[in-house]
Amino acid sequence: MAEFTMELNDEQREVRDWLHGFAADVIRPAAAEWDEREETPWPVIQEAAKVGIYSLDFYAQQYFDPTGLGIPMAMEELFWGDAGIALSIVGTGLAAVGVLANGTEEQIGTWIPQMYGDPNDVKVAAFCSSEPDAGSDVASMRTRAVYDEAKDEWVINGTKTWATNGGIANVHVVVAVVEPELGSKGHASFIVPPDTPGLSQGQKFKKHGIRASHTAEVILDHVRVPGSCLLGGKEKLDERLARAREKAKASGGDRVKNAAMATFEASRPAVGAMAVGTARAAYEVALDYARTREQFGRPIIDNQGVAFQLADMRTQIDAARLLVWRASWMAINGKPFTAAEGSMSKLFASETAKKVTAQAVQILGGNGYTREYPVERMHRDSAIYTIFEGTSEIQRLVIARTLSGMQIR
């Protein structure tokens, strides 16, 4: 087990500085343009692929960092550059992790390379879980997958929403219900290969923030995929469903739902790190502005009203980062989240990003409200962190249930 330390090692610092350089030199100069265009920044993704950032190898190296700090460090630096472009770069990782976590070696070797493509022909992937009536309430999912034993195919019908890269992806990973009475335990994940008939893009959302990241509905109309596209395989699924049936009889449905929430718990610190990156970026702009902007013959940072705001902003950012690092270290070392530390980190970091970016706009005054300065975009981008990967209200619910042991509703 890796010792906990507040200091990055030499290799981590080298990676951090490399990522920071890419964010500063490539992502930031392109941020305003792609936010206005509201389109996937393919040229930036291609540049990330050429230098090795947009690749499974890089993501895996950070994911398996024994300190647990690889992923949060990478997320913070990329999202410091720009949240929308960064999400376009890391969004494929959601689908890749889904395959890594649940797929066979053959599935991993077959599909993950097709998710990324190569530097000369980059591809993206989409992870499709949320639905119009099933976001936080995963047990309400309606997309169904029915096994056609005669053809050894799964037939999938339903509509997914809020899918990053949905419809433009080369490979879609779709979560569907295979046994409704088991709630979230009756779900399974499927690969939908490129150009599969029946899969189409629905509405593309015009968003308040992270506008360089493509978000859309994915419609599945009698989509047929081979049996080999069931992640983990049919035998493993049948065994898991049998165990779930027995546990459901013994302990009731509420525990089935709680198990689903526990699955999400481990991924939430990464979202917290994204929020930290955006908050840090806005704070740095505000600090620089306060040092150089003069009113009444002196820099505005000389005023306690501004200086104290900046002090609070930095304190909150550092506290958020520490909560993210603690949860990430616990996760990689198999420490149980007995106080919902993953949700704590995501909750505090996301709320901090919204607050800090709003304070940055205020410090810049009228300039902060215009698109001539990046804090306006950062403030819009920050709103998503309290919504995706579980709203702030869901995080508080998870924390309260974990602390109390009660099924709070």
CATH of the domain at 350: 1.20.140.10
Q: 217, 250, 283 — which closes off a domain?
A: 250
User: Which structural domain, as residue segments, surrounds residue 35?
Assistant: 10-122
pLDDT one-digit tens code per residue, 131-167: 998 766 677 899 999 999 999 999 999 999 999 999 9
Instruction: Examine residue 255 and state whether it is found in any structural domain, yes or no.
Output: no
Q: Is 389 a catalytic residue?
A: yes
pLDDT one-digit tens code per residue, 175-214: 999 999 888 789 999 999 999 999 999 999 999 999 999 9
CATH of the domain at 205: 2.40.110.10
- Residue 100 binned pLDDT confidence (cut-offs 50, 70, 90): confident
**Rounded average pLDDT over 366-379:** 97
Amino acid residing at 120: N
- Torsion of Cα atoms, 312 then 314 then 320 then 322, to 10°: -120
Instruction: Examine residue 355 and state whether it is found in any structural domain, yes or no.
Output: yes
Which structure tokens are listed for 69? 């700090």
Give, for 51, the enclosing helix (H) or strand (E): helix 42-51
Nearest Cα to Cα of residue 89 among 126, 51, 41, 121? 41
* Pair 271, 221 in one domain: no
Give me the pLDDT at residue 260, please: 36
Residue in 76, 153, 389, 393 annotated catalytic: 389
* Pair 384, 274 in one domain: yes
Residues β-bridged to residue 170: none
Give, for 397, the enclosing helix (H) or strand (E): helix 392-404
pLDDT one-digit tens code per residue, 264-274: 555 789 999 99
Instruction: Examine residue 5 and state whether it is found in any structural domain, yes or no.
Output: no
Residues β-bridged to residue 249: none
